[in-house]
Amino acid sequence: MYRFVGFTGLPAIFLKFAVLAVIDIVGGLAISSAFAAGSYVLGGALLGALLFINWVYIFRAPTPAKFLAPGLVFLLAFVVVPIVYTVAMSGFKFQTGNVITKSDAIEQVIARGVSEDASGTAFDITLGRGADGQFEALMLSQIDGTASRATLAGVTPLAEGEYGVNEWGVPNSAAGFTPLTSDELSQLGDEILSIRFPVGDGSFVGIQFAELAVLLTQDLTYDAQRDVLVSASTGAEYVDNGDGNFVNAADPQDVLTPGWRDVNFPDNFIKLVTDKSLRDPFVQVFVWTVLFAFLSVLTTFAVGLLLAVALDQRIKGRAIYRSILILPYAIPSFMSILVWRGMFNREFGVINRVLIDLGIISENIGWFDETFTARMVVIIVNLWLGFPYMYLISSGALQAIPGELKEAAAIDGATAWQAFRQVTLPLLLQILSPLLIASFAFNFNNFNIIYLLTGGGPREAIAGERAGGTDILISYAYQTAISNPTSRDFGLASAVSMFMFVIVAGLSLWSLRRTKSLQEF
Amino acid sequence: MKTFRRNLWRHSVAWILILFTVFPIYVVIVSSISTTGGLVTNSLFPKNVGWDNFTVLFNNPSIPFTSWIRNTLIAASVTAVVSVLIGAAAAYAFSRLRFTGRKVGIQALLLIQVFPSFLALAAIYVIMGEIYEVFPAFGLGSMGGLILVYLGGAMGINAWLLKGFIDSIPEELDQSARVDGASPMQVYWLIFFPLAAPVLAVVALLSFIGTFNEFILASVFLTDPESRTLAVGLQQFVGGQFTENWGPFAAGSLIASIPLVAIFLSVQKYIVGGLTAGSVKG
């Protein structure tokens, strides 16, 4: 009996701890900077991951944990958490104008809730710092041409001779005043907009940009106890409308922006079902999604199977045929889709050109302009992309069907077609059904082909910007959540995603039950 | 002659599909070597053969084609290598080790696998935005962040692909090593890993191709032209001006596809085996 020889003992242990040490150092730095930046969720998550890794590899955790730990960390962070987050978001009003937290929203509403004084007093200013390093401004009133000096303590008039002016007559020097350089200004950026020089009567001088300030009064104030915003000028009270915004209690149309993301479960789901402008496109998109996935599987499988049967015999040139015919599977699909898109181009596409040359059509067809032709193109291109895969799996399955079965059928007097219909095909479908269902699920979420080929268009066909004639659920969700920055609706998109979760998960579970492949576990 | 006639329909089917298959490939080749400038997408035969479309890719500063290739290669190779390491370890655990939660675990993995990670796109977008606030190198807009998200899906897909293969390696090999005093980790690294190396390479290749093709996450993540991947770069490049940029686009597609197609064809036997292994067990 020999001892097991390998990378063991001290060097192995040393290597293990060296790797762990590096992970811990990098992770520790990351955690401390996350906490320093105030991102406690992120810091906490990292800390949890780091503790988990250390527990697994230092303290004799069960062996399977050692094998699964790295994958689990990534899986949790970038798949499970996003899924949970999606579920949570679907219960929120979370859209353009309602993306920040309530406290941030109140802060911004107050910052915007200022009003100019009646005469619209404005100042040309030079922004700088005083002797104490605090912000100060030298100002020239545009109304009466008087000069004054604004500090965080208040505004005092400047007498003639106390200041120097620049070429436009704006005061730019005074005792103890240092103007900000343009470098400093660009570094400060928007920070200068929050500077407020108090005037004394409740109003203040607010900076508009580096050379201009206006006299403002704080109009809206927040009453934390009653959770209302009160306008000093009109006396109106703005109350939380329970839907992510403060609205005027007397006039619900008077909404303060921005709003915040607010729990509104189950409004997003109800909207999908009841709001006609959302429901109709959603239903149409859903029907087309199912049709598209079904037709894609049907056409690719039919052609792939036909090819598999045709090449099931050792005919001459089979190897070359095979190598050419699986090319669509090997070429990066995003490229082939873009190429097809160019070929179907109305004016310059080669397809219209060939059809005209052959005399089949007399003028260019706008393939992507009509829903029907656009959908046809999608199916044709998906056939090109997908039949090689179906061919490969069908020919694999054909070889797995014992030849005796066909011979037995032939002896019983069946024609080749009958033998195929009644013996081979049912067996084939049985073997391949999990893969066909997987293919259906894949096409159900086949974002690439829709987005790259038609962009979901024609756009006007169903509901303009949001849903086009060839949009499937996933491209519709993308359109809703991401693509248009002025009307993003994460909440609604998440609700649509949830809907897709349920369908795809249901399909997969059903196919898991149906196949025996899991019984061996 | 007689056999040929009997097999005529087989050849006909093959030839019709070959025409269908080759048509767009032919169009791309013709377009890439035609130098008539703009409106060449509708020509069936090359006009003014030349290499202009290829040279413009590498000399036009508004088309950072070489950066796109570099970015794609980085994203795809890092993802392929790390995800195979992760997936192989997980697959080994699910295939060889007995532990509670194993069956539930592999079923959950399968379920998660059928959720493309971009279904949770909006959530990932927001989460990566948070990460960006603290670690710009791994947040929104960074290659590091994109790779992290890709790795999230690594365990599901690869573990599932590899498990079938590991099941087919006789367990006696492991057991004899265990008898000789090897720990499970040693069995994994010293017995299993060398045995599985060729299959791991194929799975890595599939993962490479998958990342190469990935579009939606990359397009949401990478907004800066220099940092784009080939898929996003070429799409944006050809998107608006199909007619003007068609020639260089065709040339770029050719350059990017040829190495992939060559690798794919050379290992097609293994890939086909991997595809059917799961289903054709009977």
The pLDDT tens digits of the residues spanning A150-199 come to: 888 888 888 888 888 888 888 888 888 888 888 888 888 778 888 888 88
A60 forms beta bridges with none
Q: Could you tell me the CA-to-CA distances from A359 to A346, A356, A363, B23 in Å, in that order?
A: 17, 5, 10, 19
Whether the upstream peptide bond of residue A328 has omega within 30° of 0, thus cis, is no
Give the other-Cβ count within 10 Å of B121's Cβ.
26
How many Å apart are CA A375 and CA A174, to the nearest integer? Answer: 73
Query: What's the gap in Å between the CA of B23 and the closest CA on chain A?
Result: 10
The backbone region for A189, taken as left when phi is positive above 0, alpha when psi lies in -120 to 50, beta otherwise, is left
How many Å apart are CA B277 and CA A106, to the nearest integer? Answer: 59
Q: Which of B89, B115, B215 sits opposite A448 (nearest CB)?
A: B215
Average pLDDT, chain A: 84
Which of A500, A303, A494, A294 is closest to B115 using CA atoms? A500
Q: Which of B93, B115, B120 sits opposite A85 (nearest CB)?
A: B120
Give the other-Cβ count within 10 Å of B187's Cβ.
22
**pLDDT at residue A9, rounded to an integer:** 65
Whether the pLDDT of residue A519 is over 70: the answer is no
CB-based contact A508 B130, cutoff 8 Å? no
Query: What's the gap in Å between the CA of B33 and the closest CA on chain A?
Result: 15
**pLDDT at residue B278, rounded to an integer:** 44
**pLDDT at residue B48, rounded to an integer:** 75
**pLDDT at residue A372, rounded to an integer:** 93
Whether the pLDDT of residue B280 is over 70: the answer is no
**pLDDT at residue B272, rounded to an integer:** 67
Whether A472 contacts A452, CB under 8 Å: no
Q: Across residues A97-107, what is the average pLDDT?
A: 83
How many Å apart are CA A430 and CA A401, to the nearest integer? Answer: 11
**pLDDT at residue A244, rounded to an integer:** 83
Average pLDDT, chain B: 80
CB-based contact A71 B89, cutoff 8 Å? yes
Is the CA virtual torsion A367, A373, A375, A380 positive or negative?
negative
- Listing DSSP states for A102-147 in one string gives HHHHHHHHHHH-EEE-TT--EEEEEEEE-TTS-EEEEEEETTT--E
CB-based contact A490 B122, cutoff 8 Å? yes
Whether the pLDDT of residue A38 is over 80: the answer is no
Q: Across residues A250-272, what is the average pLDDT?
A: 83
Which of A114, A108, A96 is closest to A246 using CA atoms? A108
Q: Across residues A335-345, what is the average pLDDT?
A: 90
pLDDT in tens, B43-96: 677 777 778 888 888 887 778 888 888 999 999 999 999 989 988 888 888 888
**pLDDT at residue B81, rounded to an integer:** 92
Contacts of residue B213 in chain A, CB cutoff 8 Å?
332-334, 448
> What number is the ipTM of this complex?
0.84
Q: How far apart are the first and last CA of chain A?
A: 34
pLDDT in tens, A408-447: 888 888 888 888 888 888 888 887 877 788 788 889 888 8
pLDDT in tens, B204-247: 888 888 888 888 888 877 877 788 888 888 888 887 666 678 88
Residue A44: which residues within 8 A CB-CB, separation 6 or more? none
How many Å apart are CA B158 and CA A88, to the nearest integer? Answer: 29
Q: Which of A331, A341, A428 has the highest number of chain B CBs within 10 A, making it the mutation to test binding with B?
A: A331
- Give the distance from CA A198 to its chain's centroid: 43
**Percent residues over pLDDT 90 in chain B:** 10
Cα atoms in the Cβ-side hemisphere of radius 13 Å centred on A338: 32
Is the CA virtual torsion A351, A352, A353, A359 positive or negative?
positive
**Percent residues over pLDDT 70 in chain B:** 87
> Searching chain B, which residue's CA lies closest to the CA of residue A4?
B180
Whether B275 contacts A431, CB under 8 Å: no
pLDDT in tens, A6-26: 556 677 778 888 888 888 888
The backbone region for A218, taken as left when phi is positive above 0, alpha when psi lies in -120 to 50, beta otherwise, is beta
How many Å apart are CA A239 and CA A429, to the nearest integer? Answer: 62
DSSP assigned state of B222: -
Q: Which of B39, B119, B254 has the highest number of chain A CBs within 10 A, making it the mutation to test binding with A?
A: B119
Q: How do A203-209 and A212-218 pair as beta strands?
A: antiparallel
Q: Which of A63, A66, A86 sits opposite B123 (nearest CB)?
A: A86
Query: What's the gap in Å between the CA of B218 and the closest CA on chain A?
Result: 12
Contacts of residue A323 in chain B, CB cutoff 8 Å?
265, 268
Torsion angle, CA of A150/A156/A159/A162, rounded to 10 degrees? Answer: -50
**Could you tell me which residue, A409 or A202, shows the higher pLDDT?**
A409
Contacts of residue A389 in chain B, CB cutoff 8 Å?
275
Q: Across residues B131-153, what is the average pLDDT?
A: 81
Residue recorded with tokens 């509901």 = A463
Helix (H, G, I), strand (E, B) or coil at B51: coil
> Searching chain B, which residue's CA lies closest to the CA of residue A440?
B114
The 3-state DSSP composition of chain B as helix, strand, coil percent (nearest 5) reads 80, 0, 20
pLDDT in tens, A244-253: 888 888 888 8
How many Å apart are CA A277 and CA A461, to the nearest integer? Answer: 14
Whether the pLDDT of residue B165 is over 70: the answer is yes
Contacts of residue B234 in chain A, CB cutoff 8 Å?
334-335, 338
* A287: confidence class by pLDDT, cuts 50, 70, 90: very high
Residue A380: which residues within 8 A CB-CB, separation 6 or more? none
Q: Which of A338, A439, A483, A512 has the highest number of chain B CBs within 10 A, making it the mutation to test binding with B?
A: A338
Q: Could you tell me the CA-to-CA distances from A326 to A318, B27, B207, B240 in Å, in that order?
A: 12, 18, 18, 30
**pLDDT at residue B282, rounded to an integer:** 30
**pLDDT at residue A379, rounded to an integer:** 97
CB-based contact A452 B215, cutoff 8 Å? yes
Q: Across residues A137-162, what is the average pLDDT?
A: 87
How many Å apart are CA A501 and CA A509, to the nearest integer? Answer: 12
Whether A484 contacts A95, CB under 8 Å: no
Residue A466's φ and ψ, nearest 5 degrees, are -80, -45
Two tokens at A131? 């002797």
Q: Could you tell me the CA-to-CA distances from A312 to A392, A403, B69, B264, B268 in Å, in that order?
A: 11, 12, 39, 22, 18
* B193: confidence class by pLDDT, cuts 50, 70, 90: confident
Q: Across residues A282-286, what is the average pLDDT?
A: 89
Residue recorded with tokens 């991997």 = B274
